[in-house]
Amino acid sequence: MAQTRFVEIGRVAYVNFGPESGKLCVIVDVVDAKRALVDGPVTGVVRQQMPFSRISLTEFVLPIKRNQTSANVAKSFDEHEIVKKWGNSHAGKHVASNVRRASLTDFERFKLMAAQKKKSLLIKRELKKIKPKH
């Protein structure tokens, strides 16, 4: 399948490595083949260069100009409710669930395992009903 998400001015990206990992930022300019200038005033990413290897492109694009000021980037970010949209998106939900999984305590992990076993048992029962007997 061809590329559908492109690196462009205004592309909202998710930082997946480094000190800013876990935050959303906006591509404000492209430095060279390997780096972009990103800014995330709303999400706490200081305007800085970021290697493309550290970011994942999201489905959201903001209509900002090249080298847009931080204040205007923040304005556009809030206008388009990117934080809310990201939270409701498939990727955003996946990220949030990973964060939740990593923060589970021992008791919570046990409860998850017990619930998983229960669910799997119900599925197996139903499957047995459908499966033809030899």
Partner 1 sequence: MVKWYPTEDVQKVRVKRANKPTRLRGGVSPGQVLILLAGKHQGKRVIFLKQLEGGLLLVTGPYKFNGVPLKRVPQAYTVPTSTKVNVSGSDFSKINDAYFAKEKENAKKTEEAFFAPKKEKKPFSDAKKAMQKSVDAGIAGKITDPTVKKYLKTKFRLRNGMFPHTLKF
Chain residues in the site for partner 1 (CB under 8 A): 102-107, 110-111, 114
> Within the chain, how many helices (H) and strands (E) appear?
4, 5
Instruction: Rank residues 18 and 44 by Cβ distance to partner 1 and give the closer one.
Output: 18
Instruction: Rank residues 46 and 115 by Cβ distance to partner 1 and give the closer one.
Output: 115
Q: Kindly state the smallest distance separating residue 119's Cβ from partner 1, in Å.
A: 16
* Furthest C-alpha separation in the chain: 70
Residue 127 tokens read as 């499957």
Q: Kindly state the smallest distance separating residue 120's Cβ from partner 1, in Å.
A: 15
Query: CA-CA distance, 10 to 29, in Å (whole number)?
Result: 9
Instruction: Rank residues 4 and 105 by Cβ distance to partner 1 and give the closer one.
Output: 105
Instruction: Rank residues 101 and 124 by Cβ distance to partner 1 and give the closer one.
Output: 101
Q: Kindly state the smallest distance separating residue 107's Cβ from partner 1, in Å.
A: 4
Sheet with 11-15: strands ordered across: 45-51, 35-40, 24-30, 11-15, 55-61
Q: Kindly state the smallest distance separating residue 117's Cβ from partner 1, in Å.
A: 11
DSSP state of 127: H
